[in-house]
Amino acid sequence: MLPVGSCENGTMPELRYDLPVRPRRNRRNAAIRGLMRETELSPAHLILPLFVTGGEDVRIPIGAMPGCFRLSVDHTVALARQAWELGVRALALFPALPDSVKDPRATESLNPNGLLQRTVRALKDALPDLVVITDVAMDPYSSDGHDGYLEDGQIINDVSLEILASMAVSQAQAGADYVAPSDMMDGRVGVLREALDEEGFTNTGILAYSAKYASSFYGPFREALDSAPRSGDKKTYQMDPANRREALREVLLDVAEGADIVMVKPAMPYLDVVAEVSAHVDVPVAAYQVSGEFAMIKAASQNGWLSEEAAVDESLIAIRRAGADMILTYFAMDYARRYRG
Ligand code: PBG
């Protein structure tokens, strides 16, 4: 770098150094930046998670998730129509159930007329091509608030698998396009695939929560579903936030067992994991911007500490850039509303 100008007479020459490489040339205006953009995010990449509740015309706000509600089936269908019109064509459903129907074996999850099953049917009747994704885990239905079956303080893997497989079949019967095991039991993807195929649901896909971490960022979600574990924590099945190599092990097992899509969760604190996973698999990769990530952006922007729209756009494009093909986000409709091709 040679200095080619001087400031001796008080004028500042525009060119002071002979820099042959100036990356700023490619950022001069919005049109140029548009040409250079490496990552795109459209509403077609987004999946909206929704909390459903019983009754009719019910809309219960969720304290730690401003703008999110537990919705009765009628409101869920209405919102799904709006989402569809905005280009968000996939939903992930989570049922919020009263304690009175919860038990240790999550029996309610198999009820063909249960809340989730009724919601799936209503959605598919209203919008046949809507991609309906259902969660396979015991926690919304379990009096213990765990994702697997609890006995004497232990989560029993293989008993859980039987329950989860029946749950997945029940969801497929209701019309789910993808069942999404979020339970982190060993071997669940293979067991689910076999159970679905045996019942003839060869077209029902499996979106596996493959690298799901034992994260503090699920707090608001557990409030929304009142699904926090009644005892202990989830660290014997969800992953240690310190581990990256282990994520690959989990993901590769799920792919071998037949997962159609693998997922990393949460998203932003685990972008290195998203990148690692997407570099190593040949199936699509999803990432879940979870309730705590949503709540952080909301809270900071409500305080005037962040610009919500800019923070949402940046967080979502960062998740895509890291390697996610699709993103579950509570901001899906907000993003879609202001999306301009
Ligand atoms: C549980 C489940 C959780 C989430 C999705 N499925 C919470 C948990 O594992 O305790 C969290 C999603 C979010 O925080 O947005 N099966």
Interatomic CA distance for residues 5 and 80, integer angstroms = 62
| Mean of all residue pLDDT scores within the chain | 95
pLDDT at 227: 87
Predicted local distance difference test score (pLDDT) of residue 4:
57
Q: Which residues are catalytic?
A: 212, 265
Ligand 1 midpoint to CA 283 (Å): 22
In the chain, the amino acid numbered 114 is: G
Do 110 and 171 form a contact (C-beta atoms < 8 A)?
A: no
pLDDT in tens, 299-320: 999 999 999 999 999 999 999 9
Instruction: Tell me which DSSP letter residue 240 carries.
Output: P
Q: Which pLDDT band, with edges at 50, 70 and 90, does 179 fall under? A: very high
**What is the pTM for the complete model shown?**
0.95
The confidence score (pLDDT) of residue 12 equals 64
What would the two tokens of residue 185 be? 């039991």
Interior/surface letters 247-256, b for 16+ CB within 10 angstroms, e for the rest = bbebbbbbbe
CA 328 to ligand 1: nearest atom: 15
Q: What residue has token string 């045996």?
A: 198
Does residue 329's CB lie within 6 angstroms of at least one atom of ligand 1?
no
User: Is residue 290 in contact with ligand 1, taking CB distance under 6 Å?
Assistant: yes
Which of 48, 102, 217, 221 to mutate to test ligand 1, by most ligand atoms within 8 A of the CB atom?
Answer: 221
pLDDT at 5 over 90: no
